[in-house]
Every structure is written in C-alpha cells, then in structure tokens.
Amino acid sequence: MSSTHGRGNIELLSATLAKAKSEDRAALVAYLPAGFPTVGGGIEAVKAVIAGGADVVEIGLPHSDPVLDGPVIQTADDIALRGGVKIADVLRTVREAHEATGAPILVMTYWNPIDRYGVERFTAELAAAGGAGCILPDLPVQESALWREHAEKHGLATVFVVAPSSKDARLATITAAGSGFVYAASLMGVTGTRESVGNQAADLVRRTRATSDLPVCVGLGVSNAAQAKEVAGFADGVIVGSAFVKLLLDAPDLPAGLDAVRALAGELARGVRRS
C-alpha cells in the first residue's frame, strides 16, 4: 500500500473521503501526537484507532509552544519532547502506521520545525514514508507558495485551517490554495453555549463549501458518539484528537490505553454513520 518513487498519498486521502461520502457518512479523522507515550507506543496507538474505525489519522509533530493546542495535547507533546522525539520519529510513525494499515496518514505541524528542517527535504521524506500530506495551522496562505510547490511535486495534500472568524473572501483564498480537505476549526464549550458553537461550525462549513468542492472536516472538541453524529450531520469529516490523547494519558499502562482508544474509535465510527 505504500507509495513509490517518493510520491505521497493525496489520491488515497481523496479516495478515502469520497468512499465515506458514498456510504452516506462522515469520515472519522483521528489525531495523535508522534512519540507519545513513546515512539513505539504512538505507532501502536495509530494502529489501534484505525482498527477501531478511524478512516484517516493526523500525526502531530510535537512542538514546545503549541499555540493552538489545548492542555491535553500540550501535556502529551511535553512527554514526547522530554522523550527526545525528532522529525525522523514523526516520519517513522507515518511510515509504519501507513504500511501496517494502508490508511492515509497526514502530519499536523507548526511551520517553524519544517522551515528549519528544510521544505524540500521534509516533503520528499514525508512522501517517501507514504504520507498523504500536511495540516499547517499557522502557515499563512500568502506565504505558502514554496511549501505548496514542493508538496505538489511530491503528491502531498496541503490542508489549511479556517475558523468562524474567517470572512468569505478569505475563505475563498484559503480553499483555492489548499488540497485534500479543509480543516474547519471551532471549539465546542469554549465560546458561548455548546448549541451556538455547533451552529457556528455548521455555518462555517456552509460558507466554506460555497467557495470550494474540497471536503470540509471539523475539529470541534468532539469526544463522544452523540457529538460525532451531530457534526456528521453537516460536515464531511469529524476530527477527534484530545479525547484519544486523554485516554492514553489516563490509562494505567499502554495496553489499557490502546484498548481504550480502539473502543472510542469504534463508538465514534458508529456516530459518524448518520442513519
């Protein structure tokens, strides 16, 4: 299932999202940081969420100043960084998880580590590992030409993040530059009541779809099947991160953690099936 000649797996990502749509459901997208609780344990966790029912996995590249991540993911990142996680470990996680499962695996990272590592080197190595692309939450579209040139050359998706505050013209600029899918970010339970946040996310998806045919996947603080079902009612994909990470953090040992994330993935996978 892995890619050849350093070509990434954007086609696999698109086909996976299209398959979910053809089954009249949203795709389940799971997020897990590389190197947490260890590099090997993190790889096993990715396999477990896919075995449970996740369609796509985002691998977080741990960062010392994760401005967009909440306390749960920050804690996991801190554990991974103290364990000495490197970009090579992130790429190994992508490679081994993809080879074991055949699922599309993306990397979610802030721009600084890639900039330091080298854009050409990173895109070539991610593609060679079978990666499907990158989610770059802090890379402004207007500064993304170099990244996009290399990502396109290597068959990698460039996923940009949109927010409820994004104006329509801005959404059109972002979606025109992106590929794979659009990551619609909204935080359940942080701004206003949960109901209004749900409405805000639904409105963001509607406005984003008006600018693009790309699938729109929502990261909304979803942690259970009922919330997954709600978001699946208006989005092409449901992104779940902190809920998986918290289970691994709270587990007494790795086997218990793997069982817990596999079970949650199964529950969420039932939730995104709208019927």
Point out the residues that are catalytic: 58, 69
Burial 250-265 (b: 16+ CB within 10 A, else e): ebeebeebbebbbebb
What is the torsion angle, in degrees rounded to the nearest 10, for the CA atoms of residue 87, residue 44, residue 51 and residue 99? 50
Contact 194, 213 (CB under 8 A): no
Query: Which residues does residue 105 pair with via DSSP β-bridges, in sequence order?
Result: 57
Contact 183, 239 (CB under 8 A): yes
Backbone angles phi, psi at 263, to 5 degrees: -65, -45
Instruction: Classify 102 as helix, strand or coil.
Output: coil
Burial 33-65 (b: 16+ CB within 10 A, else e): bbbbbbbebbbbbbbbbbebbbbbbbbbbbbee
> What are 157's two structure tokens?
């998706």
Kindly list the distances between the CA atom of residue 154 and the CA atoms of 117, 120, 147, 159, 263, in Å, as whole numbers in the listed order: 17, 9, 11, 15, 35
Backbone angles phi, psi at 105, to 5 degrees: -120, 125
Dist CA 169 CA 173 (whole Å): 6
* Residue whose token pair is 């909440």: 70
